[in-house]
Chains A and B, each alone.
Chain A
Amino acid sequence: MKAFRGFVIKEFFHIFRDRRTLVILFGMPIIQMMLFGYAIRNEVQDVQVAVVDWAHDSASEAITDRLEASRYLQVVPGIEHQDIERAFRRGEAKVAVTFPRNFERDLILGESPTVQVITDATDPNTANTVLAYVTAAIGTYQIEVLTTSGGARPASIVLEPRMRFNPELRSVVLFVPGLIALILMLVCALMTSITITREKEIGTMEILLVSPLRPGQIIVGKVMPYLVLSLVNVVTILLLASQVFLVPIRGSLTLLLAECFLFIICALALGIFISTRTSTQQVAMMISLAGLLLPTVILSGFIFPVASMPAPLQIVSHIVPAKWFLIVIRGIMIKGVGLEAIWQETLVLVGMTTVFLVASVRGFNVRLAD
């Protein structure tokens, strides 16, 4: 046990004396959090809307006011209909709303006037979102007019959309769980596979294996510091998310941390597995980056929803641990569900972790010295 403690201390020396390791361990989580929190957003903000108003009546102006009041939109006045395309090209506007002549009169007469909404679909995501805002603004106005005018008009079906769990559609809420998965993969799998192959590369692994330390002790000693630091990272991200970005943590914190712990073990097992199959740090890094980080970003539903992937990729996504972890953690944090809603995904993670652990322990005993 004494030998083991010395081993863990040595491992901390390696970490704290290597600036690159330190940057990856502690800098990355914070930098990524800031990046995803502030810079990378898919919600729209201050989108310029050109309003071409041929009606100039109270209805068109009321709707324009409404658009103006939205924190997502910014009305650009004075653009003529024929100039819309040019405004799009110059980036002066992303959306153009045109009200027809006699808009209010037609509206009251129930003649269904047409409001033209043109969007710059260079960025389809923004275009869609803005379209939805504008439609909603017109819709609400319509409801108000109908109700104030005594409901004499033929009743029309009115949609009242409500965004549950994340009413403001803030993307940081969506990104935080993915970020936790990404950083845990980075710290646990990438860093452990590198640190173990490093010992092989410099030849110290041989000495360790010849020593009375058992292979299991060597491995646990090597991953222990990363386990501790990963937990520190999880807590840091959660604190940043909840205090700075006001991401809610609606479910049980204990359950959340327990699931993170499970995912950490899973990622550590993957890191060990990679290190038993490779003998140089470079190869270990390439495999970790291409084989683990990339799928974690692309196939897990972190950024792109799994449901909108082509069928073959959806099948591949099943073997990406982060996919299951994301479902679990989004459930706990954002929807506030308990274990009863996510036990299946948890079970999948437990299964994967077991498989990786068994595979890496097997590979370890046989091949570590190569």
Chain B
Amino acid sequence: MTSAPAIICQGLTRKFGSFTAVDSISFEVAQGEVFGFLGANGAGKTTAIRMLTGLLQPTGGQAWVAGHDVYSEVEAVKRSIGYMSQRFSLYDDLTVRENIEFYGGIYGLRKTELHQKSGDLIERLDMEAEANSMIRSLPLGWRQKIAFSVAVLHEPAIVFLDEPTGGVDPITRRQFWDLIYEKAAQGVTVFVTTHYMDEAEYCDRVSIMVDGRIEALGSPAELKKGHGVDSINDLFVLLARGGKRGDA
């Protein structure tokens, strides 16, 4: 990890009127790292992600994503990232292949490249038989894998996953994390938020946000040792208890 960090945040802040949703957060994420971004509901995770993905302008501080300034180079930021939200975000009434080709298309992939990639992807996911089925006919776990694969189809440097495993069973979640590791091994930086504390243990490093601030940052092992707790879950409860916002 000698190359430049994939994400740099320096005092990144977002205020909505008098309310400070994200309060001067600073961290770096290295290339190829799996970075867990934890926090209770309302802690400011979503606002932070929206600033890093170019959906929302920060009101203070600085940030670079894949080397691009989030203020002045929003278009370049958007081109170098992939994004998957908690709602899977595929079109129910399009087939597997149509979804893949549509999303590839909006990232500007050429037609021949698109055919090639979607063919490869369908083969890799072992979904040849379902390639022309509507998304709505597939089980949730499959859709989620497709959604992830679609988010990284254009080979972004960084992929943001916003609670990607909500509502699926532990086995499917495990398989999903295998996909994540596979991508990370190829050098893709993974920025993931989750509600499941066991998943936090899978990350290279995690940060825990409380009331808009980052209260803990480090590898799961370091953090547990440093705070004298047995699991990330215990640490999370310990830190979140000090928080005033949210419901955790």
> Residues of A with Cβ closer than 8 Å to B?
2-3, 6-7, 10, 13-14, 17-18, 202-204, 206-213, 369
CB under 8 Å from chain A, chain B span 139-167: 160
B227 within 8 A of A: no
Q: Separation in Å of the B87 CB from the closest CB of chain A?
A: 3
Q: For the side of the interface on B, what is the size category?
A: 20 to 34
B196 within 8 A of A: no
Cβ of A13: which chain B residues have Cβ within 8 Å of it?
A: 93-94, 98
Given known pairs A6-B101, A14-B91, the reply for A206 and B108 (CB within 8 Å) is no
Cβ of A204: which chain B residues have Cβ within 8 Å of it?
A: 89-91
CB under 8 Å from chain A, chain B span 90-109: 90-94, 98, 101-103, 105-108
CB under 8 Å from chain A, chain B span 60-99: 75, 78-79, 81, 83-94, 98
State in angstroms the CA–CA spacing of A207 and B56 once bound together: 14
The answer to whether A14 and B105 touch across the interface, beta carbons within 8 angstroms, is no
The segment out of B27-35, B47-55, B117-125, B176-184 that lies at the interface is B47-55
The answer to whether A6 and B93 touch across the interface, beta carbons within 8 angstroms, is no
State in angstroms the CA–CA spacing of A329 and B87 once bound together: 46
Identify A210's interface contact among B54, B87, B102, B110, CB under 8 A.
Answer: B54
Cβ of B93: which chain A residues have Cβ within 8 Å of it?
A: 13-14, 17-18
The answer to whether A2 and B110 touch across the interface, beta carbons within 8 angstroms, is yes
Cβ of A208: which chain B residues have Cβ within 8 Å of it?
A: 106
State in angstroms the CA–CA spacing of A242 and B102 once bound together: 42
Q: Separation in Å of the A214 CB from the closest CB of chain B?
A: 8
State in angstroms the CA–CA spacing of A6 and B100 once bound together: 12
The answer to whether A10 and B94 touch across the interface, beta carbons within 8 angstroms, is yes
Q: Separation in Å of the B192 CB from the closest CB of chain A?
A: 15
State in angstroms the CA–CA spacing of A334 and B103 once bound together: 49
Number of A-B contacts (CB under 8 A): 72
Which among A7, A10, A212 has the highest number of chain B CB atoms within 10 Å? Answer: A212
Q: Separation in Å of the B144 CB from the closest CB of chain A?
A: 13
Cβ of B54: which chain A residues have Cβ within 8 Å of it?
A: 210
Identify A212's interface contact among B84, B91, B108, B160, CB under 8 A.
Answer: B108
State in angstroms the CA–CA spacing of A336 and B81 once bound together: 58
Which single residue of chain A is at the shortest CB-CB distance from B79?
A212
Q: Separation in Å of the B66 CB from the closest CB of chain A?
A: 13
Cβ of A203: which chain B residues have Cβ within 8 Å of it?
A: 85-89
Cβ of A206: which chain B residues have Cβ within 8 Å of it?
A: 55, 83, 85, 87, 89
The answer to whether B106 and A212 touch across the interface, beta carbons within 8 angstroms, is yes
Identify A207's interface contact among B89, B92, B111, CB under 8 A.
Answer: B89
The answer to whether A211 and B53 touch across the interface, beta carbons within 8 angstroms, is no
Cβ of B86: which chain A residues have Cβ within 8 Å of it?
A: 203
Given known pairs A13-B93, A203-B87, A204-B91, the reply for A2 and B55 (CB within 8 Å) is no
The answer to whether A212 and B55 touch across the interface, beta carbons within 8 angstroms, is no
- Closest CB pairs A-B (n = 7): A203-B87, A6-B105, A210-B83, A207-B89, A203-B89, A3-B106, A17-B93
Identify B81's interface contact among A2, A18, A210, CB under 8 A.
Answer: A210
Q: Separation in Å of the B17 CB from the closest CB of chain A?
A: 14
State in angstroms the CA–CA spacing of A212 and B81 once bound together: 10
A-B contact pairs, 24 of them (CB 8 A): A2-B105, A2-B111, A3-B106, A7-B106, A10-B98, A13-B94, A14-B93, A202-B89, A203-B86, A204-B90, A206-B83, A207-B85, A210-B53, A210-B55, A210-B78, A210-B81, A211-B83, A211-B103, A211-B106, A211-B107, A212-B75, A212-B78, A213-B106, A369-B50
